[in-house]
Structure 1
């Protein structure tokens, strides 16, 4: 098919996904699968190849991600039940002072958001927003928005988050490189789009300062603090998988690939191995070390897997959709056409993810779909780093968080604000963050 019809097919498929998710209220996984069948039928993929293509797309995607998502969910649950997040907040308040509450909550989101989904992270940390707001004497909105923004950035940019890891796998980008470059993107983006935006755009004092009965945890006290895990051990537990994966990337650039030590490092530094090691360490540091019994740890583990079923289906269906786009010729054909446009492929990747996030609402769906569309651009642009393209997609999926995104409604309800307030704060804040992330990614592309 020519480029024009291919573009029409893609636009109709995206419109179909949006219609099914937003209007029909269909689960995104089913909407993606229906769109995959639509593309396959319209582009005349051989009937005996359609199911094989879908199965391969699901298998190739989930085969890599299932254990990562599952172990990450358990790690996040241990962080919640052990009080590790509360310990981090208390220590940072003590060290940096109440006057830096917005920075503290942004940092807390960047750190605690690593092992959990953005929605789970917000639910986990929002009680601390109430407490920190009361301790600092400022409005919950002023520190709640930097928290939500930082969680969104981690969700979209930093592996081992499922969406970030999935697109890194789709684009064949080195995970450690994505983490290192992602940190370079995440920190300035959150500081500008989260902290500075909140500082200048959100009043420090509104008519409703946080009260305990409005959803907080009460004030921090020394007695409860003694029961919490230590700051250092909590921080190490959260960062351990990243440290292991980054060590693998750095070692690969310093050591010959054929020596035994490097082969061991490759095994240990694989995301699956890294999460396994981190989880085993967390069982001790946040569990056994704090008095949890083996039966309690088993119950925590079992209870962590239920909530991830939906995300596994979405990611698997996204893999199927991407596989059909490739097999049908839609993605390669459009990539070839895009390569002749006088626009950077980095900006195109960002724009595609931004539009998809605005339309669909799910950053995960937007990122996985965008990755399938832009994958052939790598072949058309041999000098383009896959890690940079992955970051561009993640940066786009951060922006335009509005009524189609569940995070929008969570922020509105938990912080007790109106829809216009949510638009003026969360939507604007995430959009600024998205633009800053794109800018930093473009700068990094000059040296990577």
Structure 2
């Protein structure tokens, strides 16, 4: 019965948004409430659960998305994004720039959660698409695919690192296997798959992109533009490395951990951008602050929609749907690797969050891993791959991709959900292939 209720809830969500044209934020909250009640939650617990999900999602993302939007807006309106875009286009050529974006997303994504990397790179995606005069998704899909692959497969990204700890896997070996799987997966789900979405060509959102074409002498240099854009990436990567290589008693580890927290890293980067992209370019503080204000106004509704996706996710978790499905799947006689992938996949479909799916599946499959002698490192990757599948509309990432690229629900399923499913299936295939050689 819980699965039937979940399916009806997802169909109702599609109906409200696609047919009724109800605002996505309102539709998500309405469906979250109805599904929660239908799954047996008490009326007293429903609102606190919705608040917990919405607040928990925005608590982790509000500063990051807002500061990321500020950094992107400052970079775009100073000409910094155009400088980076034109340089990449000149080096790689217009036909190959999607490969450059894919590589950039791969590097950035190793240190950052998907949502953070997405917000940091989206202004660059808009500018490259406009400069190269190519469809927006031809650049956007490779970027999103690369970020998602690192989210599922590569330590020191927080997700795979946490799963490695659950399975007691060697992080270095996990990283090696992960890279072997991640590179071809990112290529197929990104630069190759985007060819199948050529008929979907959304406009670049006017509120998030400055179409002004800068002259060469009006733009900051390539070096300072890249430096400012990568400050948060470097700080977060340094933090991840410090946690892996330094003892907990070392003061420098605590400093790097503090500076590498996403909120802190982006605060520092915005402070630097105010100078490099604003004051040093001859702009007044008043003008710079107007840019900052416009950036936040442009992403306000996106934040609410992402938060509502988190509310639906929390309702499904607190009502026990995710645990119920995981228990059902865990009772079957399957290969430990396939079982870990399948448990993560069904929990991901049920509750939306890739991180929740991966950690929950890890807890369920860890005893099976120990009992069967399966490779802990491959169990990590199988779990990470399964946790990425489909990305249903109860995943905040679904709405992040949809809203920033201005897509319909149907177009989001054809692009975002499809590339996530490709990553999940190729990840499983890669795990099973490696297992043939080491098993």
User: TM-score under structure 1 normalisation?
Assistant: 0.68
1:117 to partner: Cα distance = 7.7
Q: Is the 8 A contact 1:106 1:195 kept in 2?
A: yes
1:346 aligns with: 341
Aligned ranges 1:8-407 → 2 under 5 Å: 8-96=4-92, 100-104=96-100, 106=102, 114=117, 116=119, 122-130=125-133, 140=134, 146-153=138-145, 156=148, 188-196=184-192, 224-341=215-332, 342=334, 343-346=338-341, 349=344, 367-368=352-353, 376-382=360-366, 389=383, 392-394=386-388, 396-397=390-391, 406=402
Quickly say closer, same or farther: Cα 1:395–1:40, change in 2 above 3 A: closer
Q: Is the 8 A contact 1:145 1:194 kept in 2?
A: no
Quickly say closer, same or farther: Cα 1:441–1:48, change in 2 above 3 A: same
Quickly say closer, same or farther: Cα 1:440–1:374, change in 2 above 3 A: closer
1-structure distance, mates of 2:404, 2:286: 37
1-structure distance, mates of 2:228, 2:182: 20
1:111 to partner: Cα distance = 8.3
Q: Is the 8 A contact 1:237 1:281 kept in 2?
A: yes
1-structure distance, mates of 2:308, 2:195: 40
1:407 to partner: Cα distance = 7.8
Cα deviations by residue, 1:45-70 (Å, 9 ceiling, x for unpaired): 23222222222222222222111110
1:213 aligns with: none
Q: Is the 8 A contact 1:322 1:372 kept in 2?
A: no
1-structure distance, mates of 2:291, 2:181: 33
Q: Is the 8 A contact 2:345 2:386 kept in 1?
A: yes
List alignment gaps of at least 5 residues for structure 2: 109-115, 152-156, 166-170, 199-209, 370-375, 393-397
2-structure distance, mates of 1:282, 1:346: 42
Quickly say closer, same or farther: Cα 1:262–1:125, change in 2 above 3 A: same
1-structure distance, mates of 2:220, 2:9: 49
Q: Is the 8 A contact 2:341 2:382 kept in 1?
A: yes
Aligned partner of residue 49 in structure 1, secondary structure: helix
Q: How many pairs does the alignment contain?
A: 381
Q: Is the 8 A contact 2:81 2:124 kept in 1?
A: no
1-structure distance, mates of 2:222, 2:38: 56
1:15 to partner: Cα distance = 1.8
2-structure distance, mates of 1:45, 1:94: 57
1:381 to partner: Cα distance = 2.1
Q: Is the 8 A contact 2:66 2:299 kept in 1?
A: yes
Aligned partner of residue 44 in structure 1, secondary structure: coil
